[in-house]
Structure formats: C-alpha cells, structure tokens
Structure 1
C-alpha cells in the first residue's frame, strides 16, 4: 500500500507542477522565475533556483511529521514528492538545460520530445503566452515533430 501512495503521489505531482508553473511561477512569483526565461543571470545559480527550497521545506516537514508518527501517510507522500523532485532535477537541470554535460546525444524519442516541448516553453521570454507547463507528460505534437523528417 505504501508503494502505491508513493507512486500515486509521483504522478499527481505532474498536475501540481503544471498548475504551480503556470499560475504561480508565471503568476505572482514571476520575479523569481523570470531569469530562467530571459537568462539575465550569468552565474550558475538563478533566482528561479529558490523554488527548490520553497518546495523542499514543506516536503521535509511532511517527511519529519510522518516519521515521528510511525511512518504515516505523510511520510510516503513526502517520499513520492522527493522522487518526483529528483526526476525533475535530473531531466530539467541535467538533461534539458545541461547544467552538467550528460545525455547530449540521445536519440530517445521521449527525451527528445521533452526537450523540444521545453524549448517551445522557453521560446516565450515573457510571463504571458506560455505553453508546455508540465514536465513529464509531453503533448503528442512533440513526438510528431521528432518523427517529422524535416525535424522542425
């Protein structure tokens, strides 16, 4: 049962990520997210990186609460959020934005579709007119772009 809680939380996080990205990061906290789109920061860290702490602190609190209460449901929800966060870091920061130079030459259609969708999201430097706010779910049109011989 605990594994199912972790798994369900992981998948639910995709919807939560989409909503947070669209309505909070591109909404009232745009001031933190802006440098991720306009690349105005020359260093390795961006103001956008503060979202790591914003999301980690409540997750750590849930994990702690779940631990002191005999590993209740909050602990397993926090584990699911943590696993999603690790996947996000790996795919978004390492694979897509190449903070570490890994997986540059992949030919995996799913990974290429994720990269293309994210590139489409970053095409817009302002907070409006965004698209592709999700992370792991990729609209079918990006797979079609991959299989298009012109590779537009």
Structure 2
C-alpha cells in the first residue's frame, strides 16, 4: 500500500508539472477537427484557425512514368484555398463523414495526433504557441496507397 501511494504521488506530480490540461486536450482535438471539417463544409477561416502560417503537409506519391516515389508538399495558403472549394458541390465526402482523432503523444507544448478520415489518414504535429494549439506538420496517405500515383 505504501509503495502504491508513493507511485501515485510521483505520477500525480509528474502530470502536474509536465502534462497537458483537459483544456489542452480539447484544443488539440478541435484543431484537428477544424482541419477536416473545414473541408467537409467549405470554411477557409476555420482552416486558417487550425494551421500555423508555416505549416507543411506532405505525402508520398509515385510517378507513373518512372515508377519512382517522391514527396509532394503543400502549405497553409494552399490548404486554406482548398478548404474554400474542395467540397463545394458536396460530392467529396459521405453524408456522415468519418473523423476520428487519436492522441499519440501530448507534452506541455507539443502534441502528435492521428486523424482517421474516410479515405485517408493524417498524422499531425501540433505546437502550443501563445496559448493556442496550431497544426505545424501533416503527413498523410490514402488508405488505399495505390491511389497515390500521377
């Protein structure tokens, strides 16, 4: 019992010093949801709210003519423009789109989450800057990686 109590105190102290708050967890999840939901229903301000101005989004791609893999990259400005038009005709997502946010790691100022959407997976890094959580990196792929060719 004494050992359990000591472990509990050490764990509690560690969480108080280094852990995130419930508010942080909610803010991190909201940033990931803002990112995907601003594509479901076109909403550029919501996308902008989620992303750091220097965010970079990457994925692998295969060149059909050479068969070589390479990385494609996009930035915040492109994602904001995408959110304005991507699903304008309401034909890119099912009526009830999948959007599951899994926390992979959270520290005081950094976090990693996995967003599982309908056709793809996004791994996101977030940073807490001036008390606001922003997505700074995204690495994504289709569930069916054969779709990632040009």
Does the alignment reach a TM-score above 0.5? no
Bin for the TM-score computed over the shorter chain: under 0.3
More strand by share: 2
**TM-score normalised by structure 2 residue count:** 0.28
**The structure with more helix, counted as a fraction of residues:** 1
Determine which structure has more spread, i.e. the larger CA radius of gyration. Answer: 2
Higher relative contact order (CA 8 A, sep 6+): 1
